[in-house]
Amino acid sequence: MFARHRRVGAAMLALAAAGALAAAPAARAQVNPFGFSRSFKGMSQDDSKMLFDAADALNATDPLHVGDTKTWGNMATGDGGTVTVMRIFRSGGMACHTLRYDLHLKSRRSGRYTVDWCRTDSGWKIKS
């Protein structure tokens, strides 16, 4: 009986994740994977735009290869970083890839984040 509940629970979780991915708005309007808004605390709006433009450029690259990297930097703030393709895979029949974001920020500690992206009929979405 418990095994059946685990299977049902896992199936419900998978359906919820798939629903969240399918219902998500365009990648540009998604929640920042580094926080709760498009502007990352400690980064200017210009910095945030440059960071997301670098990711968007990689998402638009075809063919994409592991190791492909986009660099961004803002001379006005001294902030910058790279976005690098770490893995290319398929999930649920969708083309996906993992991007690593390396942030070098003057005003706060630098960070490294990884985010999985998948291509849907309406564009690239963050995989939940």
Span 65-91, average pLDDT: 96
Average pLDDT over the chain reads 77
**Tens digit of each residue's pLDDT (9 = 90 or more) over 118-127:** 999 999 999 8
Parse the chain into domains and list their residue ranges: 2-126
Render the chain in DSSP notation, one character per residue: -HHHHHHHHHHHHHHHHHHHHHH---GGGSPPTTSSSSSPTTS-HHHHHHHHHHHHHHHH-SS--TT-EEEEEETTTTEEEEEEEEEEEEETTEEEEEEEEEEE-SSS--EEEEEEEEEETTEEEE--
Confidence (pLDDT) at 123: 93
pTM for this one? 0.70
Confidence (pLDDT) at 110: 82
**Tens digit of each residue's pLDDT (9 = 90 or more) over 8-45:** 333 333 333 333 333 333 444 454 555 545 556 668 88
Span 82-96, average pLDDT: 97
